[in-house]
Amino acid sequence: MVQPKIIKLVDGEKGNIIKITDLQLDGVMRRRLLDLGFIKGAQVEVVRKSPLGDPIAFRVSQTTIALRKEESSKIEGELISNGE
Amino acid sequence: MHIEQLYKEAQKLSTKQLRDDIVQHLHERSHLLCQEGITYNKAKKDTKTEKLDAIFTSPIFGFPIMMIMLGTVFYITIAGANVPSSLLADFFGWLESQLTALFTFLHAPEWLHGMLILGLFRGTAWVIAVMLPPMAIFFPTFALLENYGYLPRVAFNMDRLFKKVGAHGKQSLTMAMGFGCNAAAVISTRIIESPRERMLAILTNNFVPCNGRWGTLIVFASLFMAAGFTGGMKSLVTTGILVGIVLFGILITFFVSWFLSKTALKGIPTHYTLELPPYRKPKIFDTVIRASATKSWSVLVRAVKVAAPAAILTWVFANIYIGDSSILLHAVNFLDPFGRLLGLDGYIMMAFILGLPANEIVLPILLMGYLSTGSLTEVKSMVDLKKIFLDHGWTWLTALNMMLFSLLHYPCGTTLVNIYKETKSKKWTFMAFLIPTVIAIVIPLMITQTVRFFGWI
Amino acid sequence: MGNEYRIALAGNPNTGKSTLFNALTGLRQHTGNWAGKTVSLAQGSVEYKNKTFQFIDLPGTYSLFSNSKDEEVARNYIVFEKPDVTLVVLDATSLERNFNLALQVLEMTKNVIICINLIDIAEKQGIEIKERLLTNRLGVPVIKISARNKIGFPLLLDTIDRIVTGAIECQPLVLQYPDEIEEKIRQIEPHVRAIVGDHVSARWVALRLLDGDESLLDEINRLITLKGAS
Ligand SMILES: Nc1nc2c(ncn2[C@@H]2O[C@H](COP(=O)(O)OP(=O)(O)O)[C@@H](O)[C@H]2O)c(=O)[nH]1
Ligand SMILES: [Mg+2]
């Protein structure tokens, strides 16, 4: 068994699927992200980057949500697919 | 027990873990419901959105497409509004002569004819002829784009720039609303969660020209800047100039946001989430009808309501004499030196001051002012219109300054009222007035003085 | 008037609430395909079987833990203005997130109808929804509609009618949280009830207090002073 690779959402490449393991955010933003489906165990797909590189759009809970790197760098998960 | 006390008790019982668990539990339940109640047959995924986003948010094409979209909407508006505008103007000109004939027939006193026809009728007719056609085309075109789902992509593309100046990415959405109406856009800033960034969006919204200023901008761009062209080319040049004006407004927005973020509204950009919904084909007929009919209508009614009294007032001021000149002329003469400094004149300053209630009426008031003193010509076509301005010493520089002043000056009365309602602060409402006013003075001043210094005019 | 009823339209942003509102009332609330198009309340009425249904188009919310002003408007309306019926409009193509809000609405008010909208698109994408089963699970009517194509309206209006006349009684699902949370709810709930009475669901307020929703406190205080004054 290979250890699953843990990466931050911000470091995901287009097509990567990441299973969230940790959210290092607090307060209102944490709650907002939880409401949107960025919960532990959720699978998130990296959809695309904005033309200037930030924000990045993610597919989560059947919707597409864009996050700035300030937030997406604080969400970690196991890389479970490269999208190939 | 007080609720606050209870809240403290509850917080003692609560932990971060517990809060997470509540949400987690809701999600698990949702997930379960979906598993039980919904079957997803085959993977018919929505590939259309995927493909379109690859273009609309592409690193290479994303920004150019935004510019093209903006330009296209303007072009359709300008080219399409041309004919109906002049038809309306012809019609109102004809109606005016009929009404005048009627007044003569009835032996109505001169002052009554002056007030009702030359004041009220003319003023409102101009508002309708100049404002209605662009509005009736712009609103539905924009509404289609909006219902299709393009706006969030603009916010997605532009976010980085807004972040750089300390503003919220969703400000591009509220700015887009500003093209329709700044007063409504101020209310739409409610989507911005953080008070600081919301304030930035409110304070800078009027740098996006609302439909009340479209007419003015289009008239001057086509009269003075695109004068050497005809037909489709003329519309194209006018479009180019308007795009330039709008981009300049955006530049000022960035600058003011940045400046405020470093000074009075210090702080770092707060959190931000933006949903990118799938593209959905709008119900074209409904959307077009709703946008053109109802929205144009309500905006027009508002404009006419303000225009009517303002037109009468202007006529009265122009016809009541104190000493050897009218009240209007006294005011104009008083404002003139200041206006000249900015490459404008006293009439223009007067029109903007009287136009505070609504931007739609600035141009009609200006024309009435000019006509009340000069030889009282009938304005039948755009050529006549230009002659009036030329008679009053206008050059391309005057037109440019007029456009910039219109773009940058204080928000209209309705917008200021809404700003007060939304911010509940006299200070910030005043700032919303002051900041644009200072900018609207400084920029034409600099341009005019530079042009004069180098003797370009 | 005895036969006027207020029907609120709630739901995530962009699920077609305004489209539904326009289609039902013939009014012209502006729609747009982006989150945040509707930021304040709009009202319009429909006559149905000698009754007047007053529809209220609320701003979209992802959850009832309000983050921004427009979301607060929606939450306060549902919780404190107590419409006769709350329609929760869901997007059939992203039900997983949408149910989240529906469950929260069920926690705080009784007369709820779940409208699964955009059914036309869902069908194209091969999404099949068993509304009967969902009705059983949730304890309130679940109806499939397409606001844009005016599909499912007769059933929707009829269901609203039957709820306000009492022909249908909603028994919304009471979500059971893990024991540890339930225990804490039990500790707080009676105190909440002592303060807010029966006007607002005490269980829901208790949950929100545990959840740390401070913005709710002001609203509750306002409610209490209002009740005290009247
Ligand atoms: N295909 C389809 N599109 C819909 C339907 N209902 C709404 N829409 C579209 O969904 C988008 C959002 O609608 P809107 O009413 O503004 O959503 P709101 O934010 O919930 O008020 C618009 O582009 C509508 O045209 C439907 O039943 N079918
Ligand atoms: Mg809406």
Mutate to test the pocket of ligand 1, among C148, C150, C151, C156 (most ligand atoms within 8 A of CB): C148
Q: What is the phi/psi pair of residue B333, to 5°?
A: -65, -35
What does pLDDT average to over chain B? Answer: 88
Residue B45 has pLDDT above 80, yes or no: no
pLDDT confidence of residue C208: 87
Digit-coded pLDDT (tens) for C60-117: 888 887 666 667 788 888 888 889 999 999 999 999 999 999 999 999 889 999 999 9
- Over range B47-58, report the average pLDDT: 92
State the Cα–Cα distance between residues C63 and A35, nearest whole angstrom. Answer: 6
Residue B341 has pLDDT above 70, yes or no: yes
pLDDT confidence of residue A30: 87
- Over range B295-310, report the average pLDDT: 79
From chain C, the residues in CB contact with B40 under 8 A are: 126-128
pLDDT confidence of residue C230: 46
Q: Is B345 on the interface with A (CB under 8 A)?
A: no
Residue B283 Cα to ligand 1 middle (Å): 9
- Over range B305-334, report the average pLDDT: 86
From chain C, the residues in CB contact with B46 under 8 A are: 93, 125
User: Residue for token digits 């747009």?
Assistant: C32
- Over range B94-101, report the average pLDDT: 90
Nearest ligand to the CA of C42 is 2
Residue B293 has pLDDT above 50, yes or no: yes
CB nearest to A39's CB, from B23, B54, B270: B23
Q: Is A35 on the interface with C (CB under 8 A)?
A: yes
Least confident of B88-97, B236-245, B296-305, C211-220: B296-305
Question: Are C97 and A32 inside 8 Å of each other by CB?
Answer: no
User: Strand, helix or coil at C142?
Assistant: strand
Confirm whether A38 is domain-assigned. yes
User: Strand, helix or coil at B246?
Assistant: helix
Residue C11 Cα to ligand 1 middle (Å): 12
Is any atom of ligand 1 closer than 6 Å to the C-beta of C38? yes
Q: Is B90 on the interface with A (CB under 8 A)?
A: no
Q: Is C58 on the interface with B (CB under 8 A)?
A: no
pLDDT confidence of residue A68: 93
Nearest one of B54, B77, B76, B57 to B66, comparing CA atoms: B57
If phi > 0 it is left, if psi is from -120 to 50 it is alpha, else beta; for residue C49 that is left
What does pLDDT average to over chain C? Answer: 88
- Shortest-distance atom of ligand 1 to CA C31: 16
Contact present, C40 and C30 (Cβ < 8 Å): no
User: What's the ipTM?
Assistant: 0.94
Domain, as residue range, for A68: 6-81
Confirm whether A19 is domain-assigned. yes
pLDDT confidence of residue A20: 95
The DSSP bridge pattern shows strands B321-322 and C112-117 to be: unpaired
pLDDT confidence of residue B305: 83
- Which tokens in the block code for residue C215? 């913005």
Question: Are A62 and C62 inside 8 Å of each other by CB?
Answer: no
Atom 4, ligand 1: residue with shortest CA distance: C148
From chain B, the residues in CB contact with C60 under 8 A are: none
Is any atom of ligand 1 closer than 6 Å to the C-beta of C12? no
Residue A66 has pLDDT above 80, yes or no: yes
Q: Is C225 on the interface with A (CB under 8 A)?
A: no
- Over range B298-327, report the average pLDDT: 83
CA B432 to chain centre: 15
Q: Is B52 on the interface with A (CB under 8 A)?
A: no
Nearest one of B316, B307, B306, B336 to B417, comparing CA atoms: B306
For chain A, the domain total comes to 1
Domain CATH code at residue A41: 2.30.30.90
Confirm whether A1 is domain-assigned. no
The pLDDT-based confidence of B142 (bands split at 50, 70, 90) is: confident
Better-scored residue on pLDDT, C226 or C173: C173
Chain C nearest C-alpha distance from B127 (Å): 24
Nearest ligand to the CA of C35 is 1
Atom 28, ligand 1: residue with shortest CA distance: C118
Q: Residue B82: how many CB atoms within 10 A of its CB?
A: 19
- Over range A16-40, report the average pLDDT: 90
Residue C43 has pLDDT above 90, yes or no: no
Confirm whether A67 is domain-assigned. yes
Digit-coded pLDDT (tens) for B213-264: 988 999 899 889 888 888 788 889 999 999 999 999 999 999 999 999 999 8
DSSP strands (E only) in C92-151: 112-117, 127-129, 142-144
Contact present, C83 and C8 (Cβ < 8 Å): yes
Element (H, E) at C89: strand C85-91
Digit-coded pLDDT (tens) for B5-14: 888 888 888 8
pLDDT confidence of residue B193: 78
- Shortest-distance atom of ligand 1 to CA B287: 25
The pLDDT-based confidence of A1 (bands split at 50, 70, 90) is: low
Integer-rounded Cα Rg, in Å, for chain B is 26
Q: Residue B197: how many CB atoms within 10 A of its CB?
A: 25
Query: How many CB pairs below 8 Å do chains A and C form together?
Result: 25
- Which tokens in the block code for residue C12? 């995530």
Contacts of B45 (CB under 8 A, 6+ apart): C125
pLDDT confidence of residue C31: 64
pLDDT confidence of residue A84: 58
Residue C1 has pLDDT above 70, yes or no: no
Contacts of B379 (CB under 8 A, 6+ apart): B89, B93, B367, B371, B385, B388
Chain C nearest C-alpha distance from A2 (Å): 31
Residue B298 has pLDDT above 80, yes or no: no
Q: Quote the percentage of chain B above a pLDDT of 70.
A: 96
Least confident of B68-82, B110-124, B214-228, C44-58: B110-124
Helix%, strand%, coil% for chain C, nearest 5: 45, 20, 35
Q: Is A36 on the interface with B (CB under 8 A)?
A: yes
Domain boundaries defined on chain B: 61-453
pLDDT confidence of residue B376: 43
| Amino acid at the residue C113 | I
Find chains touching chain B: ≥3 CB pairs under 8 Å. Answer: A, C
State the Cα–Cα distance between residues C80 and C87, nearest whole angstrom. Answer: 16
User: Residue for token digits 């329709």?
Assistant: B180
Confirm whether A15 is domain-assigned. yes
Atom 19, ligand 1: residue with shortest CA distance: C14
